[in-house]
Amino acid sequence: MVDECLARGELVAPFGTDGIRLSAYYLVWPEGRPVSASAGAVLRWMTSQADAGVPGD
């Protein structure tokens, strides 16, 4: 999925793609801005999956 998004220009890799782990997921938001309710739900879900040891793609 990441490779496809990079190819379409939807994502950028300003420092290259060496060392990118494709099995890791990150949720980011602007510094100093509170997390929205929907993003908070995704964050809780991601954390629960990680805590449960659920493998990613």
Q: What's the rounded Cα separation, in Å, for the pair 49 and 55?
A: 8
pLDDT value for 44: 92
pLDDT tens figures, 1-57: 778 888 899 988 888 777 666 667 778 888 999 999 998 999 899 889 888 876 654
For residues 12 and 2, the answer to whether their CB atoms sit within 8 Å is: no
Q: What's the rounded Cα separation, in Å, for the pair 48 and 46?
A: 5
pLDDT value for 32: 92
pLDDT value for 56: 55
